[in-house]
Amino acid sequence: SSNEGPLPKPASADSGFMLSFPAMENPFTSDAFLLRILAWYLPKDEFEKAKQQFTQLGNEAISPQVMEWNANAEKQQPYVKAHNVWGQRYDYDKLVTAEGWKELGKWGARTGAIALGYEPEFGDYKRIVQYVQTYIYSPVSGLTSCPVAMTDGAARLLSQIIPSLPASHPFHDAYQRLIARTDAWTSGQWMTERAGGSDVQNTETWAKYSPLPEKTGPFGRIDEGDYLVSGFKFFSSATDADMTILLAKTESGKLSTFLAPLRKIIIDADGKERVVSNGVRIHRLKNKLGTKQLPTAELELKDMRAHLVGPLDQGIPTISHILNITRAHTFMASAAGWRRALSIAKSFAKARTTLDQPLWTLPLHLRTLAETETKLRGCLHLAFFTIALMGFSETSFPSTSPAAKYAPLPNAGHEAQVVLRTLTAVAKAVVSKNAVSGVQECMESMGGVGYIDEADEPEHNIARVFRDTNVNAIWEGTTNVLASEFVRHVLKKDNIEVFGAWLDRAIHTVENDVYRDVLDKSWKNLYRRLAGSKDRVPEALANGRRIMFSLAWIVIGLLLATDAQRDREGVAEEIARRWIVNGEPGVGEWKMPDVGEIGPHARFQEGEERAKW
Ligand code: UCC
Ligand code: FAD
């Protein structure tokens, strides 16, 4: 009617409501929980030194330069150029990767992604410090964190082998190049074949002993190994690597571990040196849900010259040095991606208004984020405790660490080894699996924008984090394969008794009577069943996932409880309470259905056996 005024100005493409999203914060200095964990393990001096380095790394991680490299690596996906325009095959398949990918790899090496774990600067604490680097670097590494993981594994393996080798052996040089900060080498890990990646016993790659008649020294160069390897590798993620560690069978029909460079030097007809492929042909690159920046390929190997690593026929025990390191990178990257997704989701909840109030003030939304934070903190505790054990077992158990006083560490030596191997498998499986649902929750909490996958805007692209996080539950052993590894390991020899002695002792350091009681009853229940399963391994294997998640729930509860009692900090206390007493992230609530009946103490009446497998 005529007395109505003009309508408000409608929105247009460039006017109307526009959400203003806050700038990213330094992922180190803004992460109160990470700082708390670090202060638990590092003595004051080391903590201050690390803080300085990581504040700088955190600033770099949110810099426009790093964002640009990430966008570039995501947009310019790798491809292979095998022939020139005349149809001639190159001396080796040219794998073309983005500038961003290359720069991110160099940035990782420069900032110590591997070096920190081998340089003496942080002494007994070097692994913890190295994995803080992983935590900050991996979410913005454009997946160069994947070759980093495998390179770290190869460095660890060589560090075990080279002390017994003469100085002229090429493995010494390879090791130095892997741990370098500049012009560093990367290494691949080739295990999976078409016949299976979980069970590698059906490997169809063969290594023939065929030493060169003449070498350039008693042990030759890195490309003068004594074996010729041929076969087909179905997944190779480090296709642009300098070298690789791979499994192959020898005439015994058993698996051994080999090291080979991807290129070799030949002398051509006119006496000139030429760099050619060391018998590796890229069959094709894979199309994948995520990890788009990563050049995952199928490779055909034909007479690849390789060195044997470790004893003949001991392929699995030898390569397991790598597996345990790459699994640690996997769980840390899972937790780091999850933390990044949650930071984005929290920023969104502060920026978005709904029902005329900031989103974060809606109790239901706040509760969803709080539960996600609780699960993530639990997983982070498990992750860093496992890393601390790894570091301490490589060097020595420190008496100067606050952890020696407060953290429930096992005894150095055999007990620590059993606990470390157990928790490495458990953490890889449990943290990676939870990160998938955790990141999904963060994505959903941003509504439709959460689902937008914009390569140009890596600073708030949760969808990319979700795609990339999914793979962590698959590679380096699926959840069930790790559950199987865990069950078989603890049921061997007296491992369950050794593990049990530690956990029992640790639980009894919990001062809060209620927490101690809940954890003690839960563990006794699980232990009784596990220790009684030595002659029923197949049955325990069938229930492996449930057992593993139940154990993780107990160990995380223990870590949260001991952390809280160190200073009675309010948030730490509340998270411990929610985890242990409410069973909030446990039974039902914890998104893992297989947590089973382990959970709130109310369910653990004396003598009652509730935890059914
Ligand atoms: O996926 C891959 C790379 C992807 C990219 C990586 C990026 C990572 C981080 C990224 C961050 C963003 S490479 C492919 C990974 N493949 C796997 O993980 C294979 C999964 N399958 C398994 O784990 C299986 O359990 C196998 C292959 C290890 C099982 O082989 P077998 O033949 O059944 O062998 P056993 O019987 O389990 O083990 C043989 C010996 C045993 O010694 P004994 O008999 O003396 O007890 C084991 O104790 O090897 C020992 N062993 C180990 N030792 C086996 N596993 C381990 C271990 N984890 N630690 C120590
Ligand atoms: P399978 O072994 O066939 O497994 C299929 C299913 O069977 C799984 O659900 C598994 O849990 C289940 N299963 C198998 N064994 C058991 C058991 N004992 N108990 C219960 N369940 C079981 N590999 C490399 O070697 N190098 C690489 O660089 C590499 N890069 C990769 C990159 C990407 C992006 C991906 C997706 C994979 C990569 N892989 C790599 C391969 C990866 O390690 C394997 O896919 C993985 O180990 C599983 O092997 P598979 O695919 O053959 O599955």
**Check: complex ipTM more than 0.95:** yes
* Measured distance CA(136)–CA(332) in Å, rounded: 10
Q: Enumerate residues 6+ apart whose C-beta is below 8 A from 207.
A: 227, 228, 229, 248, 249, 250, 256, 258, 306, 308
pLDDT score at 592: 32
Measured CA to CA, the distance from residue 40 to residue 52 in angstroms comes to 17
Please tell me the distance from the alpha carbon of residue 398 to that of residue 95, in angstroms, as a whole number.
45
> Are 304 and 223 within 8 A, CB to CB?
no
Give the model's pLDDT for residue 596.
Answer: 41
* 475 within ligand 2 shell (Cβ under 6 A): yes
Which class is 187-314 in CATH? mainly beta
What is the Cα–Cα distance from 383 to 565, expressed in whole angstroms?
Answer: 20
pLDDT surpassing 90 at residue 581:
no
Residue 153 has pLDDT above 90, yes or no: yes
Cα(475) to centroid of ligand 1, in Å? 11
Cα–Cα distance between 295 and 98 in angstroms, integer?
10
Q: Whose CA is nearest to atom 22 of ligand 1?
A: 198
* Residue 477 CB less than 6 A away from ligand 1: yes
Q: For residue range 545-574, what is the model confidence (pLDDT) as tens digits?
A: 888 888 998 999 999 999 999 888 899 999
φ, ψ for residue 57, nearest 5 deg: -60, -40
Among 145, 233, 235, residue to substitute to test ligand 2 (most atoms within 8 Å of Cβ): 235
Token representation of residue 598: 């382990």
pLDDT at 598 over 70: no
Distance (Å, whole) CA 474 – CA 482: 10
Q: Which of 230, 218, 293 is nearest to 258 (CA)?
A: 230
Ligand 1 atom showing the smallest separation from residue 485 Cα: 25
> Nearest C-alpha to atom 40 of ligand 2 is from which residue?
235
Atom from ligand 1 closest to the CA of residue 326: 8
Ligand 2 pocket test, candidate residues 298, 469, 475, most atoms within 8 A of CB: 475
Average pLDDT on 185-207 reads 97
Domain boundaries along the sequence of the chain: 32-178, 187-314, 479-613
| CA separation for the pair 147, 237 (Å, rounded) | 7
The closest residue, in CA terms, to atom 15 on ligand 1 is 476
Q: Which atom of ligand 1 is nearest to the CA of 143?
A: 12
Q: Report if pTM > 0.80.
A: yes
- Tens of pLDDT, residue by residue over 465-508, are 999 999 999 999 999 999 999 999 999 999 999 999 999 999 99
Helices then strands, each counted (H, E), the chain:
19, 13
pLDDT band at 297 (very low <50, low <70, confident <90, very high): very high
Would you place residue 2 in the very low, low, confident or very high pLDDT band (cuts 50, 70, 90)? low
Is the CB of residue 383 less than 8 Å from the CB of residue 54?
no
Give residue 432 CA to ligand 2 midpoint distance, Å: 14
pLDDT mean over 28-55:
95
Task: Kindly report, residue by residue over 219-275, the tens digit of the pLDDT.
Answer: 999 999 999 999 999 999 999 999 999 999 999 999 999 999 999 999 988 999 999
State the Cα–Cα distance between residues 608 and 613, nearest whole angstrom.
14
